[in-house]
Structure 1
Amino acid sequence: MKQSLGLLEVSGLALAITCADVMAKAAAITLLGFEKTNGSGWTLIKIAGDVASVQAAVITGASLAEQQQGLVAHKVIARPASDILQQPAAVNVSPESVGVKEDSLEDTSITETAQSEGLDSTLCNLCLDPACQRQKGEPRTLCLHAGQ
């Protein structure tokens, strides 16, 4: 039987896990995974199964998310292309496989710059006055020149 794809986007990871649990209990589906989307803490739940099961599961999950005021979007794709259901393999990249050069001119200039700026990191980043006791990250009111 042809697999279908169900997508449910909700606000928050806790709600996504709750919806996935309800969806799995409501119908015979396969949970493909969760995906964090960009912005607003949204999470996408991806499921697969036969068309009727996926539709029932997505409707159940969407109704729960709507009750919790966390529903963003939902969609059922009845017969997606075969490439859509396949997940790309994760690629682990190590520094050795990339071939990082240790003796480059850029590395030494960055190191020299960082060392010369080492003394400046203790100065106040607002007034840059060496007499100011405020350090970067402290409240602005501690700066000698805060009232000026």
Structure 2
Amino acid sequence: MRKDMETLGYIEVTGLSTALVVADKMLKTAAVELSALENTKGGGWITVVIKGDVAAVSVAIEIGKEAVGDAFVSSAVLANPAPGIDGLSQGDLFTTPQPDPDPDPTPAAAPVTDAAEPSVTSTAPQVEVIQPKTVAHQADDAAVKKPQATCNLCGDPACPRKLGEPRKKCIHYRELFNQDHKK
């Protein structure tokens, strides 16, 4: 089979486990090669990409549609795709990025030292110096740690009511209710 005459088949399904089942069924049914499993953006859809000849890819895609039922989203068979189409995929779901090779393969030259002088290296741990807080800093910290009010009715930080909860949970509800209804 010539590389340029290869057919691409795409089937998109909901969920990774469904994609694995589809890939397994297609690979066992027809003489196709699994090219990639791609995670699409949003919806939990996974695209299974296969390669092979036109007949094998078409049969494999049809078997895949039948195997997944309601989890099927879409499919496409590209017979004799244009050059570069197979490179448009977003990437393989199961591959991990390979580390970049060292850009400078030449080893760095070792520093020249005099053999008569022994080299001394320090192994002392680094010590972080912590300054004691002044009274002004402690007052700033206390102001920052002031409890936040969660009740939008009374604004009291001691009130257990949170925004959106019934007004009756507010510890100041009766006072606020009487003020509103005195008029």
TM-score bracket, normalised by the shorter chain, equals 0.5 to 0.7
Alpha-carbon distance in 2 for matches of 1:24, 1:144: 64
Q: SS of 1:44's equivalent? A: strand
Deviations 1:69-117 (A, max 9, x none): 2111111000112211125786989xxxxxxxxxxxxxxxxxxxxx9x9
Q: Say if 1:24 and 1:31, in contact at 8 Å, map to a contact too.
A: yes
Q: Which residue of 1 aligns with 2:159?
A: 132
The runs of 4+ residues in structure 1 deviating greater than 4 Å are 87-93, 133-136
The higher relative CO (CA closer than 8 Å, separation ≥ 6) is in 1
| Residues 149 and 158 in structure 2, CA contact (< 8 A), matched pair in contact too | no
Local SS of the residue matching 1:46 = strand
Secondary structure of the residue aligned to 1:25 is helix
For residue 44 of structure 1, the aligned residue among 30, 47, 54 is 47
Q: Over aligned residue pairs, what C-alpha RMSD do you find?
A: 3.7
Q: Are residues 12 and 135 of structure 1, via their aligned partners in 2, closer, same or farther at CA, if it must alter by over 3 Å?
A: same
Question: Quick check: 55-64 or 31-40, which moved more?
Answer: 31-40
Q: Partners of 1:88 and 1:36 in 2: how far apart?
A: 8
2:148 counterpart residue number: 123
- For the Cα contact (< 8 Å) 1:9–1:44, is it kept in 2? yes
**Structure 2 stretches of 5 or more lacking a match?**
92-96, 101-140, 178-183
Match for residue 25 of structure 1 among 28, 31, 56: 28
Q: How many residues align?
A: 121
* 8 Å contact from structure 1 (residues 24, 57) kept in 2: yes
Matched, 1:34 2:37: yes
What secondary structure is seen at the aligned counterpart in 1 of 2:42? coil
Higher-helix-fraction structure: 1
Question: TM (normalized to structure 2)?
Answer: 0.52
Secondary structure of 1:34's partner? strand
| Corresponding letter in the other structure for 1:79 | N
Unmatched 5+ stretches in structure 1: 94-114
CA distance 1:118–1:15, change in 2 (3 Å) = farther
